[in-house]
Structure 1
Amino acid sequence: MMNSIPCMIMRGGTSRGPFLRMSDLPSQQEEQAEILLSLMGSGHALQIDGIGGGDPLTSKVAIVERSSHPEADVDYLFAQVDVFNRRVDFNPNCGNMLSAVGPYAIETGLVGPQDGKTIVRVRNLNTQRLIECHVPTPGRQISYEGDTRISGVPGSAAGIQLSFLDIVGTKTGALLPTGKAIDTIRGIPVTCLDAATPILMIAAEDLGLDGKESPAELDGNTALLERLETIRRQAGRYMGLGDVSQGVLPKPVLVSPPRDATSTLNTRYFVPHRCHKAIAVTGAIAVASAVSLPGTIANRIAIDAGRLASGSPLSQIRLEHPSGYIDLDIAHRHGDPHDIARVSLIRTARKIMSGTIFYSSTRDVLTSQVG
């Protein structure tokens, strides 16, 4: 039997997917997951029976609703829908999809537009943290057109500023969940860090890489992917996340010296079993948060590359990734690299379509619940 639900498909940053109202979905997360798997067409490499694009970056769903939180306008639940397996992970946040939450909230009447700019206060249900989305609304109308360009997206669009508040310990409760800047797993030094999202950082050279490899090269290196997964699972246990074999957290990040004189670090970010063609917003925040933190992999490489000197923490950071770069502004309280007040960056978004989407009932769903 075919069912239907109102839907808006939007690009948010370097990701794309359907945006749905929570009120249009069943209350049980397993039932929600069944619908999402059908919508996206998961279980097939091309997701041919749904709207997924056969890639983790285009197999994402944003679920939005009016918030009961006194400091938020809307709630946002992110779902990562597996392309090949019938599995939905509700644990991670996605900052790229978040780029379109503000415009979606205004488009659907959840937030009234202001003249010039509308600040949409978002509570992310995956992490229980707050984000401010600054949406251009000249004449109380959303403007998607502008001259802002972001790496990984063709053309230009209106810039949307995202300010992430209280990012430390979103899943583990600590910036350094193991209590150390460096741990050793299978003979490899790693940094386990939780800021906006849990990650484990590895110096590319410690895996015999130079860090400049393309996503296709890294995805084709089966031995590397298996090694990364082994390290990732152990890191998950060290970070208090338990058995992470069926989830996507923590995300591995390979870090190396920058190629460009204006950049801080070069990165390769995994999602977690394929290399991201750019970098996730939350992953970029985590790496940027580690740059000024003494002893971390990012900190050591930035110092060796002459990008960081002793003294005040670095407030402006540019990270290189396979599609270009991403710029972040970090505000530390009292100059303490452990105390991060907020991280801000610019993204873009676009409404692609609005209408009704159809789905059928599915079974045998694996879900990772929101923690």
Structure 2
Amino acid sequence: MQQAYPCYMMRGGTSKGLFFLAEDLPEDTKKRDQLLLGLMGSPDSRQIDGLGGAHPLTSKVAIVSKSIRDDADVDYLFVQVVVDKAQVSTAQNCGNMLAAVGPFSIEKGLVTAGDSHTDVRIHMLNTGANATARVETPETKVNYQGSAEIDGVPGSSAPIFIDFLDIAGSSCGKLFPTGNAQDVILDVPVTCIDNGMPVVLLKAESFGLSGAESPTELEANEALKDKVEAIRLSAGKQMNLGDVSNKTVPKMSLISPALHGGLLNTRTFIPHRVHEAIGVLGSVSVATACVLKGTIANDLVKKTFSESAMAIEVEHPTGQFTVEMEVSDSHDIGKFCVKRAALLRTARLLMRGEAMFALK
């Protein structure tokens, strides 16, 4: 017999998924993962028998609970549910879904709302990093309507400002997991970096590409996908991630000169589909590589950066992503420090109710 599981469906940034209180899901990890696969309708390329949207960006889950930490209000576990395989992954954060964690926490009473805005301190269980999301709460109610726009999402919504705190090396142990600003893997120059999300940067020209190709064109290029995946598997071991054949990290970002006035252009494999935009934390890692001397991104942009606050415009297939950064010692990878990484996202509550599944 089917059981009911209370949940919200929310859009966070350019992603969408199900949000649960941890107490409403099985404590046993295997049963929880089986449930999430069933609720999403995986494994099936259409996810026709579940709530997933047949794409990695719409097959996501956030599990939230009250935190016992002094430096956080809530704990957030991100779960990527693979669309066409019976696999789930908690090996990474998701900064887009993070944008909806604050509103969800307020809606569910985990955080008391202020009269105009509410700062929600979020501990990301996947990597142990922290972030603070500022949510508009006029008259102590979450506001979803506003004039903020983000590329990749139609219309406008209330702004949610996110500050990331101490996220360098959150998955791999250090900002440059290989110890180098630049490496060569399978004859291709790369930069392996982790400032919130493990990312391997590769120049599009290394594969005979312009960088302007659409996600559909890139996904249809089997030779390209095979080469990128081979590099990813090798990079995973060098980045202290081990065997990544069944993991969704590292992400693989093809970079090229800017097309529309930004700092540089990207096409990102996540890791087997190509993102229609770019992930939040992925963009932070790319932006960080841009400002650090010696990386392939810094070589590409050919720009010297100041030691003060700056806005890095990262282009992607559907627009641009602005990352606000404050850094020090950008010329020295031994001393380099990200003092602040912040960005603007939006979120919206789409549905609340009960998801149904018969858990065996």
Q: TM class, shorter-chain normalised?
A: over 0.9
C-alpha contact 1:16 1:57 (8 A) present in aligned 2 = yes
Number of aligned positions between the proteins: 357
How many angstroms apart in 2 are the aligned matches of 1:29 and 1:341?
Answer: 36
| Structural mapping, 1:1-371, within 5 Å | 1-261=1-261, 263-303=262-302, 308-309=303-304, 311-312=306-307, 315-333=310-328, 338-361=336-359
Q: Which amino acid aligns with 1:77?
A: L
C-alpha contact 1:5 1:24 (8 A) present in aligned 2 = yes
1:53-110, Cα deviation, whole Å (9 max, x unpaired): 0000000000000001111000000000000000000111100000000000000000
After superposition, the Cα gap between the structure-2 partners of 1:294 and 1:27, relative to the gap in structure 1 and judged at 3 Å, is same
Secondary structure at the counterpart of residue 179 of structure 2? coil
Query: Structure 1: which 5+ residue stretches go unaligned?
Result: 363-371
Secondary structure at the counterpart of residue 156 of structure 2? coil
Secondary structure at the counterpart of residue 100 of structure 1? helix
Secondary structure at the counterpart of residue 191 of structure 2? strand
Q: Which amino acid aligns with 1:361?
A: L
C-alpha contact 1:201 1:253 (8 A) present in aligned 2 = yes
Secondary structure at the counterpart of residue 315 of structure 1? strand
After superposition, the Cα gap between the structure-2 partners of 1:311 and 1:21, relative to the gap in structure 1 and judged at 3 Å, is closer
**What's the CA shift for 1:336?**
7.1
Secondary structure at the counterpart of residue 130 of structure 2? strand
**What's the CA shift for 1:30?**
1.6
**What's the CA shift for 1:309?**
2.2
How many angstroms apart in 2 are the aligned matches of 1:350 and 1:164?
Answer: 21
1:139-160, Cα deviation, whole Å (9 max, x unpaired): 2111100001100100000010
Greater relative contact order structure (CA < 8 Å, 6+ sep): 1
How many angstroms apart in 2 are the aligned matches of 1:334 and 1:133?
Answer: 27
**What's the CA shift for 1:310?**
5.7
Q: Which amino acid aligns with 2:35?
A: I
C-alpha contact 1:313 1:335 (8 A) present in aligned 2 = no
Secondary structure at the counterpart of residue 358 of structure 1? strand
C-alpha contact 1:313 1:336 (8 A) present in aligned 2 = no
C-alpha contact 2:307 2:329 (8 A) present in aligned 1 = no
**What's the CA shift for 1:333?**
4.5
How many angstroms apart in 2 are the aligned matches of 1:313 and 1:29?
Answer: 44
C-alpha contact 1:182 1:191 (8 A) present in aligned 2 = yes
Look up the match of 1:365.
none
Secondary structure at the counterpart of residue 99 of structure 1? helix
1:31-58, Cα deviation, whole Å (9 max, x unpaired): 2111100110011111001000000000
After superposition, the Cα gap between the structure-2 partners of 1:148 and 1:121, relative to the gap in structure 1 and judged at 3 Å, is same
Percent identity, aligned pairs only, is: 46
C-alpha contact 1:168 1:196 (8 A) present in aligned 2 = yes
After superposition, the Cα gap between the structure-2 partners of 1:115 and 1:334, relative to the gap in structure 1 and judged at 3 Å, is farther
How many angstroms apart in 2 are the aligned matches of 1:296 and 1:108?
Answer: 43
How many angstroms apart in 1 are the aligned matches of 2:144 and 2:305?
Answer: 41
Q: Which amino acid aligns with 1:128?
A: G
How many angstroms apart in 2 are the aligned matches of 1:195 and 1:334?
Answer: 16
Secondary structure at the counterpart of residue 42 of structure 2? coil
Q: Which amino acid aligns with 1:190?
A: V
After superposition, the Cα gap between the structure-2 partners of 1:64 and 1:310, relative to the gap in structure 1 and judged at 3 Å, is closer
How many angstroms apart in 2 are the aligned matches of 1:84 and 1:17?
Answer: 16
TM-score, normalised on structure 2? Answer: 0.97
**What's the CA shift for 1:138?**
1.3
Secondary structure at the counterpart of residue 84 of structure 2? coil
Query: Structure 2: which 5+ residue stretches go unaligned?
Result: none
C-alpha contact 2:118 2:134 (8 A) present in aligned 1 = yes
C-alpha contact 2:43 2:86 (8 A) present in aligned 1 = yes
Q: Which amino acid aligns with 1:277?
A: E
How many angstroms apart in 2 are the aligned matches of 1:196 and 1:224?
Answer: 26
Q: Which amino acid aligns with 1:272?
A: P
